[in-house]
Structure 1
Amino acid sequence: MAAIDSAKRANLSRQGAFVRRAAKSLIRKRKKASEPGSPPSSHTGLLREFIYFAYEPFTQSVIIGPVKTNQVFFDGDGEPVTGTVPEVLEYGGSIRVREVFQYGKWRRADLRSRRKLAGLPSRLRKVTIAARPYMAPALVSAKEDLAKVWQNSVRRSA
């Protein structure tokens, strides 16, 4: 039984690595925005770098996906919401961005310092983003490798 559990843990971790690698390879690092329906472009490379996988021993499964970001966006009531960027990219949707009027144009507000924002006119702008899936296509592209992982994974001991 211990051999089966260790083989299952090793194989699920290997599968997580396959899907993670496939997802990272779908995201291109470039300045141009991607077309809706195709995987997103990463302007800084952070989206591609923050895709991880982990084996969950309690459920005996593997979790694969991007880390929640610490960027702050706002919901419909103006309440701050964090970690929404990877979800909105995968499924599409809308987020609200706080902007300040500075140097003659509206710019995204840097929420790390309230002093810099004091006295400046601000607004919440709703940004709608079309779906740019990358995790679901990564799972589909890695499926043929996933079956090969389980072949001869548990061997009989003599």
Structure 2
Amino acid sequence: MAGMKITKMFFDTKKVISATDRATRRVFSKFGAFVRRGARSSIRKRKAVSAPGKPPSSHVGLLKKLIYFGYDTDKQTVVIGPTPLGGKAEVPALLEYGGRKVVMGRRGRKQRKRQVATYSPRPFMGPAFEKEKPKLPAMWADSIK
């Protein structure tokens, strides 16, 4: 037989897995940052109400500030989106997808009867994700080192 050592034909599995995990974290974190930036830039701060189908207007600027992303190491995924506004998780979802919500009508200081309010969708996360999604394969190129 040829004078070759067999140990040189195998690769270090732990190093490969470690490099892959590191690249995954780096790529997904970068992707999350790009989607967050796109979503934030689509929300304009103004007093007027946005048209249905367009990104929402932020009157105070709170929705824009509360969009975050985070990498989940256990599932190796990135979560991108707004945190609950004022403790109410349904507000960002109502803006993104639209829907109905029971609200209490008011007249002055007195509480009135319950009313059903219908919200038109004003997506801001979905379009930002779709805009950045084609760039994801290029981020993976030469990422594992």
Does TM, scored on the shorter chain, surpass 0.5?
yes
* Worse-superposed segment, 92-101 or 11-20: 92-101
Q: Are 1:69 and 2:85 an aligned pair?
A: yes
Distance 1:62-1:43 versus aligned 2 partners, 3 A rule: same
| Superposition deviation, residue 121 in structure 1 | 4.2
Alignment of 1:9-158 (within 5 A): 9-70=25-86, 82-102=88-108, 120-155=110-145
User: Aligned pair 1:5/2:21, yes or no?
Assistant: yes
Q: What is the TM-score when the length of structure 1 is the normalising length? A: 0.76
Aligned partners of 1:18 and 1:84: how far apart in 2?
Answer: 24
Moved over 3 A (4+): none
Q: CA deviation at 1:98?
A: 2.1
In structure 2, runs of 5+ residues without a counterpart are: 1-16
DSSP 3-state at the match of 2:69? strand
TM-score, with structure 2 as normaliser: 0.82
Q: CA-atom RMSD, angstroms?
A: 1.5
Aligned residues: 129
Separation in 2, partners of 1:132, 1:123:
27
User: SS at the partner of 2:106?
Assistant: strand
Larger radius of gyration: 2
**Identity score, percent:** 43
